Amino acid sequence: MNLVVVSNRVSRGKANEPMTGGLAAALLPVVEKSGAIWVGSSGRVRDGSQKEPFAEIEALGAGALAMLDLPAAHYGGYYEGFANSALWPALHSRSDLIRASQEDYLSYREVNAFMARALLRFQKPDSAFWIQDYHFLALGSELRDLGVTQPLGFFLHTPWPARAVIEGVPHHRELIEAMLAYDLIGFQTGDDCENFLDYLRSELGLEVADGCVTSRFGKTRVAVFPIGIDPGKFAQQAAKAVSHPDVSRLRRSLHGEKLAIGVDRLDYSKGLINRINAFDRMWTTQPQLARTVSLLQIATPSRGAIEAYGNLQNELAKLVSDVNGRHGEVDWTPIRYLNKGFSQTVLAGLYRTAQVGVVTPLHDGMNLVAKEYVAAQNPDDPGVLVLSKFAGAANELDTALLVNPNDIDGMARTIAIALSMPLVERCMRWEAMMEKLQASTIQGWFADFVDALQQSQSDPCGPEPLLAEPPAPWPLRSVNSGVRYH
């Protein structure tokens, strides 16, 4: 089989370059090994006069990377417009932030159609296409309109919200009907999958049996494939990275004080304002913790041309300076706030340096930072993960300290508990999480999806539906559940 992977953002595979967002970083090592062709946006635009879409093609591991210049007239409406100002807020249940014009929708459809035409040059009789994320909901149906008959798969890296929320997106019906051109649709969690199926049943009146649905395109299988990381590789990287100059400088600057770390794209879905407020609350209510712990918050700017992102950047900068102004001392800065990206190598070392990882999104498809933080820990002295129960990762990492990111007081208390957790409890929680990470790696995710995609036309419903099992019970519960390990 010749696999063609498609995503808006791609990665060129330079280990020491900063990478934005989980998707490109996660896909890179597996796509590189698989021999697939990875097609995405070059980040540049071109006017529409050229006959053939312009693609810069370079080798990537055993396969190739093709970066396309997208049409100048439609790029803004597609990327900043419909994809990131209508779909992204809806997928993250922020109906209040949905902004959508008819022009943006048309541009989104134009770019999906443009990508479909561009993909024809990579098509072989035994090709299969695997489309990633919300930028290309309609790409499958555009490919079918061009006569492509090969297997088409789609994976959504974000959450899929409740029906009433997605109904707030103009043209939702047309778009979701178009999604049914895919033979296989994958989600991160059972809840996302259920929300999608609920829409198909209630809004489109379709029958769903064993995760399979029939539409005018034929059968589509809908299933759960939680994305993972390569924990072994990340652990090695982290152990090595402790001697990286950035990491050693950080360690020296701490003078024995503890460190909590947050690493996020600067996005309203990440719950950054609530997180900073929780640290503020912790230092206010437990003043003995001042000078004993600081927060390193890396917030990499993203989608800055969109008003909601610009506003958030200003609000956060103001809040951090206010908190530092109130709690800081001449020789102590409570929050170290950085608006830049770091390579995976350096991040691995920073995670290992921090006694607490704070990953508290309001909604998140999976959140690979949570998994990377766990994998990066020193097995003899692991740090504690404070994790939002609304991140997909919480389904597997259920021995993290799970928090409600809207409950500022609860988060403040939980961070303080994390800071004083005894070694034996830290080890037990960490070992349980590592087991989960090892059982569900990025390599397994890739192979499972590709296998299911290969079977999708001959045996669309597969032997067993892949709906997620509820997590196995574990004696260590989240602190919010009231059951504590002694």
DSSP characters over 409-466: HHHHHHHHHHHT--HHHHHHHHHHHHHHHHHS-HHHHHHHHHHHHHHTTTSTT-SS--
- Decide if residue 94 touches ligand G6P (CB under 6 A): no
Task: State the nearest-atom distance from the C-beta of 126 to ligand G6P, in Å.
Answer: 27
Which residue among 5, 6, 19, 22 contacts ligand G6P (CB under 6 A)? Answer: 22
Q: Which is nearer to ligand G6P, 24 or 374 (CB)?
A: 24
CA distances from 151 to 23, 219, 383 (A): 22, 11, 43
**Which DSSP helix (H) or strand (E) runs through 81?**
none
Instruction: Indicate if 486 belongs to the active site.
Output: no
What is the CB neighbour count within 10 angstroms for residue 328?
17
Closest residue to ligand G6P in the complex (CB):
21
Q: Which is nearer to ligand G6P, 92 or 327 (CB)?
A: 92
Six-digit token pair at 230? 């390569």
- Decide if residue 372 touches ligand G6P (CB under 6 A): no
Task: State the nearest-atom distance from the C-beta of 11 to ligand G6P, in Å.
Answer: 10
Task: State the nearest-atom distance from the C-beta of 9 to ligand G6P, in Å.
Answer: 4
- Decide if residue 23 touches ligand G6P (CB under 6 A): yes
Task: State the nearest-atom distance from the C-beta of 403 to ligand G6P, in Å.
Answer: 21
The rounded distance, in Å, linking the Cα atoms of 478 and 387 is 10
Closest CA to 403 of 358, 336, 455, 338: 358
Stretch 399-438 residues interacting with ligand G6P (CB under 6 A): none
Q: Which is nearer to ligand G6P, 279 or 445 (CB)?
A: 445
**Which DSSP helix (H) or strand (E) runs through 406?**
none
Residue position matching structure tokens 């997180």: 275
Radius of gyration of the chain (CA): 22
The rounded distance, in Å, linking the Cα atoms of 415 and 52 is 54
Q: Tell whether the torsion through CA atoms of 280, 282, 287 and 291 is positive or negative.
A: negative
Per-residue contact string for residues 268-307; x = within reach of ligand G6P by CB under 6 A = ----------------------------------xx----
CB 453 within 8 A of CB 128: yes
Stretch that binds ligand G6P, among 21-29, 178-186, 378-386, 407-415 (CB under 6 A): 21-29
Annotated active-site residue in 74, 157, 172, 363:
157
The phi, psi pair for 187, rounded to 5°, reads -125, 165
Task: State the nearest-atom distance from the C-beta of 302 to ligand G6P, in Å.
Answer: 5
Q: Tell whether the torsion through CA atoms of 250, 251, 256 and 260 is positive or negative.
A: positive
Instruction: Indicate if 135 belongs to the active site.
Output: no
Total number of residues that touch ligand G6P (CB under 6 A): 12
Stretch 132-171 residues interacting with ligand G6P (CB under 6 A): 133, 157-158
Per-residue contact string for residues 301-330; x = within reach of ligand G6P by CB under 6 A = -xx---------------------------
Active site residues: 157, 364
Residues that bind ligand G6P (CB under 6 A): 8-9, 20-24, 133, 157-158, 302-303
